Amino acid sequence: MSADPTEQRAPRTASVVGALLRAQLRLELRTFESVPAMWLFSVTAFVLFHFGLNVTQLSANLASGVLWVTLLLAAMLVINRLYLADAEQGGFDGFLLSPADRGALLLAKVLTLLCYLAAVELVAVPAFALLLLQPPLGQTLPALLGVLALGDLGIAVIGALVGALAIRTQARDLLGPMLSLPLLVPVMLCVAGATAPLFDPLRAGAIPLRLLVALALYDAVFGLIAFALFDFLLED
């Protein structure tokens, strides 16, 4: 005997997150509204730094700052738009009417932002290395990928939380960066400090471990705060 197709089971959070993430990525693939803008911004910024500073090799600290500030500002372009389709096309209401766990939406948005950032870094990091680094990344690349992953997680968690807050306001274009930039200062301090040794041949790529631990803790604490607050941001 086949099961009744109308029978409703409690939706599994993993299944809901997967469905929301698939929908978000499909929307991006069909509209190309976010990632190409981030690509263009980051590559243009590196070109401007290359010609503006008139050097082919930056000092390690400066290179680290240039990379992360550019990535952070590129992320700002999409944080404000992260919930736009949901707000304008009723996706929020559709989600709120369902019995799905509210945290599933937050998790799906964090994963969406992580996917966007990874896609941007696929283009931006080689462009950065080409335009502003001598010698190229080479053997420090795996360590850089690790720092990028932790930094991206911080940006994604804070971006997903602030995006949900900003989308409900009239001044979302202003509020998104105004709220997220101060919250991202600790992330920037940690990732810039952890990345700088990777660009310095004299320091042989030794990453200060305490900065990575601090960054991981900050990501974890903010993840918990975001999870606790998200319900209140969504509900009336």
Convert residues 50-89 into a mask of x (bound to other proteins by CB under 8 A) and - (unbound): -----------------------------------x---x
Structure tokens at 124: 């931006």
Structure tokens at 152: 């991206």
Contact between 233 and other proteins per CB under 8 A: no
Contact between 5 and other proteins per CB under 8 A: yes
Contact between 169 and other proteins per CB under 8 A: no
Asked if residue 92 lies in contact with residue 234, where contact means CB atoms within 8 angstroms, the answer is yes
In the chain the first and final C-alpha atoms are separated, in Å, by: 43
Give which of 194, 173, 185 is closest to 222, Cα–Cα: 185
Structure tokens at 217: 């803790």
Contact between 6 and other proteins per CB under 8 A: yes
At closest approach, how far in Å is the CB of 5 from other proteins? 4
Asked if residue 133 lies in contact with residue 63, where contact means CB atoms within 8 angstroms, the answer is yes
The residue within the footprint of other proteins, chosen from 16, 35, 147, 188 (CB under 8 A), is 16
Measured distance CA(114)–CA(40) in Å, rounded: 18
Asked if residue 233 lies in contact with residue 168, where contact means CB atoms within 8 angstroms, the answer is yes
Measured distance CA(108)–CA(103) in Å, rounded: 9
At closest approach, how far in Å is the CB of 43 from other proteins? 26
Contact between 26 and other proteins per CB under 8 A: yes
Subset of residues 90 to 129 that bind other proteins, contact rule: CB under 8 A:
90-91, 93-100
The residue within the footprint of other proteins, chosen from 54, 138, 171, 235 (CB under 8 A), is 235
Contact between 31 and other proteins per CB under 8 A: yes
Task: Give the residues lining the site for other proteins (CB under 8 A).
Answer: 3, 5-12, 15-16, 18-20, 22-23, 26-27, 30-31, 85, 89-91, 93-100, 235-236
